Chains A and B, each alone.
Chain A
């Protein structure tokens, strides 16, 4: 027998305990873990001006990435840190995102590639791709993936972020759109990606917090947050990025306005698919750098 549907009334009950906010569904309480059991997420920000492509200068991005990886892995030497992620014999796919309005940016792609090479991987064994991953020999043969994409609101999934970034590893991405993309985490079980992701980088330079129009974009609904969120756990990184988006919506709209589509694929990636951790109480957030306007 199928489960009872979750209805608006379940939200209304839960609202007495916690306000209705985009990702909040009637929830799932678990015991508070010890700090050591928490999943680490690093937020690193820098106030440097953004260039025309929407990223800070390349050297700033490199520094942000390096600081973030060091903090994430607790390793002072950034190359040693990367060597703990990537082996010289790996074939490495850097899964990027080429969305016209807010791409991953060449600066982030370049910074990651440089450190993958520093870890000992030959350049011809490194690929950077988005929509062509299924046809790209590097990705077809990849032994390691680095997942890097921007955070943005999304008409159908609530938000487009790291979990969703792997949808291009499926032949028919629209097959995963059911129930507001609820089961995107299952993509991470496909052989082409399963167990290969070494690092997730959620790009938060100019996040989009509200979707409008066919193209899902208006510059008015972006802001210069100038951050990167890093984690080994894509769910924890996405859940943290979502908190930033929700905080920005509250600041902008002046109320707790939920995203029109609940990004429940993030919660379900945890509770249904076991891909990672979505509960902020189980996430250790380490913040580095520019603190003004961090929102979380």
Chain B
């Protein structure tokens, strides 16, 4: 057998240490996008929406202490590892990997094309220390680093709220972050990249959504679909005052559609769109 033929599942599982403190690990289990529901009930669709390739999971057990579960996802790309990390940004920065959060016994971080979750079934000072130690060891075992999606770099920096940037592809995930419509009015799909972020300012909190389509005509179609469904009272204007007294505006920029939600004024929405245009 040639040296390079280490099965991907085995390679992925090798990132997980065999023990942490008094906890010993059980045999790992591996799952693909079709079988993930056998293991995860609830969030399986989230990982599929980010095109997960493979999951290696290992449970750590020590009698009399809460179990700890490690899940290492090979997302296939650093963009999707970053994206699935941004799905849940609640928690404190644990300074692990290329971005991390820790809350209530749950550590999540991304590095290279991997997203890693370490979960203690109950949080104690001891499990907290073990979870963070496992995270640090796994991060150290991942040799490479990855780049966040390019679309993230196109967000204007002025007014951008830290810890609010989300990257994704599909309409259900957009609606998870920010309900827009019960139908896919922005024509999102696996082939589209999207980033959503919150902005602060004198007019209150607003959101900016950027969607990158494979072709410019796709972007034009999506913008038209959005206008028909969401800005039907626009009467040719770029921005519309919505029922909460805030302003929503959409603009097409080549392959990209930018939408501002809940701006304090039409001028603020236009300024944010102009700022996006400068960065494309």
Contacts and interface: CB of A to CB of B under 8 A. Distances in A.
Nearest to B121: A219
Contact of A7 (B37, B104, B121, B230): B230
A220 B123 contact: yes
Given A155-B43, A215-B40, A219-B122, A8 B172 contact: no
Interface of B: 37, 40-47, 69, 71, 88, 90, 103-106, 108, 117, 119, 121-123, 172, 175-183, 185, 229-230, 242-244, 261
B182 A6 contact: yes
B41 A99 contact: yes
Contacts of A212: 88, 90, 103-104, 106
Nearest to A264: B182
A264 B182 CA distance: 10
Given A213-B88, A218-B106, A8 B179 contact: yes
A160 interface: yes
A8 B181 contact: yes
A156 B42 contact: yes
B69 A7 contact: no
B185 A7 contact: yes
Interface stretch (A174-182, A184-192, A197-205): A174-182
Interface of A: 4-9, 11-13, 15-16, 99, 101, 154-156, 160, 173-174, 177, 179-180, 211-221, 260-262, 264
A5 B179 contact: no
A212 B177 CA distance: 14
A154 B42 CA distance: 5
A214 B182 contact: no
A217 B66 CA distance: 14
Nearest to B246: A12
Contacts of A4: 229
Contacts of B242: 8-9, 12
Sorted nearest first, the 3 A-B pairs with minimum C-beta distance are A216-B42, A12-B243, A5-B183
B60 to A, nearest CB: 14
A99 B185 CA distance: 35
A202 B106 CA distance: 28
A152 to B, nearest CB: 8
B47 A5 contact: no
Given A7-B230, A11-B179, A262-B179, A216 B243 contact: no
